[in-house]
A and B are shown apart, each in its own frame.
Chain A
Amino acid sequence: MTRPPIWGLLAEFDGPSALVAAAARVRDAGYKRIDAHTPFPLEELPEALGVKRTVLPLLVLLGGLLGCVGGYFMQYYASNVDYPLNVGGRPMHSWPMFVPITFELTVLLGGLTAVIGMLALNGLPMPYHPLFNVPRFALATRDRFFLSIEARDRLFDRQETARFLREVGAREVSEVAH
């Protein structure tokens, strides 16, 4: 497959309502490689764009379980197998005493998984992205709302898609260089 001449198109919208409405129409038109860029999270947007639910909660559950089981096993192994130290004839497998550390390690590994998993699934850190070539895109972190369609999308057409974006309410459409 040859590389398209541009990365895609970027459409600018005035407010969150206009963006969400436009995103739904773009998705209904059949575009797949679309994304929106907003200064703050919009609850309605993932649905309007047809974004799938993230697997992150599952990963965090697994991370937490690993911390839980691993933490308990470490303490059990240390106090019963590797270095049994009997103090005052109390039971070796004194599980209540192992609860605090097991809990802390559950939280630690769950939390680390949440952050590292979020960054990894988002593909961050990514210092360069074609969208940063558009000067007005800097406003995506201030007060502007953007919708992007990649040139790799099968329905993409440089003129036709730009026209369509204006039709759904974009106040400005710009081409994004690679």
Chain B
Amino acid sequence: MEPAPAPLATPPVIGPGHTFASITDKISAIVLRRRTSRGWLVGFGISFFFLLVLMNAVGYLLLAGIGIWGVNVPVAWGFAIVNFVWWIGIGHAGTLISAILLLLRQQWRQSINRFAEAMTIFAVACAGLFPLLHLGRPWYFYWLLPYPDTMSLWPQFRSPLVWDVFAVLTYFTISLLFWFVGLIPDFATLRDRSPSRPGRFIYGMLAMGWRGSARHWHRYETAYLLLAGLATPLVVSVHTVVSFDFAVAQLPGWHTTIFPPYFVAGAIYSGFAMVLTLAIPLRAVYQLEDFITTRHLQNMAKILLATGLIVAYGYMIEAFMAWYGGNPYEQYMIWNRLTGPYAPFYWALLFCNIAVPQVLWLQRVRTSASALFVISLIVNTGMWLERFIIVVTSLHRDFLPSSWGMYYPTVWDVATFVGTLGLFATLFFLFIRFMPMISIFEMRTILPEAEVKEST
């Protein structure tokens, strides 16, 4: 939070010289007027290739069963759960930006919330695939839902895995609604500005007859605010429930009370890293430096630094509690992480998540787009490694040395993971081509002209 009466110290959230019309035209032109660029086609092509890799990996999985993955006793949760937690964590920044920053009246959110919300939805879609495929017989996924079935059975409501189903489905639904509600007025703008008949028709249908009525805006803003109020505890609950998948189990390294807050902080950490990974190329390619300014990048870098420190605290407490708790299994767990067969991953994760982000203390780094881009990629890698360490090291050596083992991913594990990156990128490329990637109507509200002055 900046101190309020210091206008000189705070760079503006929008470039100079903009009007309602110029904002509208600039953002809608990306969708309506610009020709599809070669860069977009190449990027989309590469993403689509990896989407096909995913289709192949999933197709073969359905044919052959999850024996094609590296999971086995004792490590029955491999890449699938690592990727699930990683993807769903990435989604959290989108909800944080759209809901929590809205409630806190942070104006700088207006230019990044739209694509951050899109990122959330696509990330949750990728995340949802993994537990589904991990079921073994994914075509029976509906057994997880309470419905009147002929076996007269119910899901086990006392299981965190069932909580997960409810949490993730609710999260996906609410994120989708939030995103769509935010898009309605912008669809109306596109409807009114589209030069083509199909464009007017399709955007017209999506806008549902929005005509900017004051009465409509009144209810709209109420609904938007209420959704934000509901989404805020929801986003905290989702990664909390995900952490319960681990914390409710009794394995050393999982059975800790630090897990919920540390998972939520980690989720926001990785999510903001992903927002930076997406925002920095987007603003360069589409010349959006007026809307996504250095101040935005700086603010996100600060959040990255703060959540990174919470995550570092989580690692520290894990190690401290293992030692202080005096439980030999917990002590061995930490020792195994530091020196065991997966130690290089643990050290790499400490380097990526704790050491590297400390350079964000420097203003020079926080204002450099290229430096932030590199750091965001490192943090994303680090957070993936964190989930790998949590899932694999606790499982592969538990209480009895006779049941120890190793986990090695197969080519199909890797193909499925890389494939979801393709799915995410494909959806994102389609999104920036066909939908306004910055919320047009919310950008209009941050102009000084938007304020009503009392003249009489």
Q: Do A and B come from one complex?
A: yes
| Cα–Cα distance between A70 and B180 once the two chains are bound (Å) | 27
| Cα–Cα distance between A43 and B155 once the two chains are bound (Å) | 47
| Cα–Cα distance between A87 and B157 once the two chains are bound (Å) | 13
Pairwise interchain contact A56-B219, C-beta atoms closer than 8 A: yes
Chain B residue with the shortest CB-CB distance to A127 = B209
Q: Which among B160, B174, B219, B455 is the interface contact of A118 at CB below 8 angstroms? A: B219
For A, the interface residue count at a CB cutoff of 8 angstroms equals: 69
| Cα–Cα distance between A57 and B219 once the two chains are bound (Å) | 9
Contact with A along B217-243 (1 / 0, CB 8 A): 111111100110011011001000100
Q: Which among A20, A97, A146 is the interface contact of B452 at CB below 8 angstroms? A: A20
In the complex, which residues of chain A have a beta carbon less than 8 angstroms from the beta carbon of B451? 16
| Cα–Cα distance between A134 and B234 once the two chains are bound (Å) | 43
Pairwise interchain contact A111-B214, C-beta atoms closer than 8 A: no
B428-456, CB < 8 A from A: 441-442, 444-445, 449-456
| Cα–Cα distance between A137 and B158 once the two chains are bound (Å) | 56
In the complex, which residues of chain A have a beta carbon less than 8 angstroms from the beta carbon of B231? 107, 111
Chain A residue with the shortest CB-CB distance to B168 = A104
Interface of B is mostly: helix
B137 within 8 A of A: no
Give B316 Cβ to nearest chain A Cβ, in Å: 28
B321 within 8 A of A: no
| Cα–Cα distance between A141 and B40 once the two chains are bound (Å) | 28
In the complex, which residues of chain A have a beta carbon less than 8 angstroms from the beta carbon of B173? 108, 111-112
Give A98 Cβ to nearest chain B Cβ, in Å: 6
Pairwise interchain contact B153-A39, C-beta atoms closer than 8 A: no
In the complex, which residues of chain A have a beta carbon less than 8 angstroms from the beta carbon of B167? 100, 104
B146 within 8 A of A: yes
Pairwise interchain contact A100-B241, C-beta atoms closer than 8 A: yes
Pairwise interchain contact B170-A108, C-beta atoms closer than 8 A: yes
Pairwise interchain contact B222-A57, C-beta atoms closer than 8 A: yes
A177 within 8 A of B: no
Pairwise interchain contact A37-B214, C-beta atoms closer than 8 A: yes
Chain B residue with the shortest CB-CB distance to A85 = B156
Instruction: Provide a sorted-by-A list of 29 A–B residue pairs whose CB atoms are within 8 angstroms.
Output: A17-B455, A23-B214, A35-B213, A38-B212, A39-B189, A39-B444, A42-B214, A42-B217, A42-B452, A54-B219, A60-B226, A79-B154, A97-B157, A97-B158, A100-B163, A104-B163, A104-B234, A107-B233, A107-B237, A111-B173, A111-B178, A112-B177, A122-B219, A125-B205, A126-B208, A141-B185, A141-B189, A141-B210, A142-B189
Interface residues of B (CB under 8 A from A): 19-21, 24-25, 146, 152-158, 160, 162-163, 166-167, 169-170, 173-174, 177-178, 180-181, 185, 188-189, 191-193, 204-205, 208-223, 226-227, 230-231, 233-234, 237, 241, 244, 441-442, 444-445, 449-456
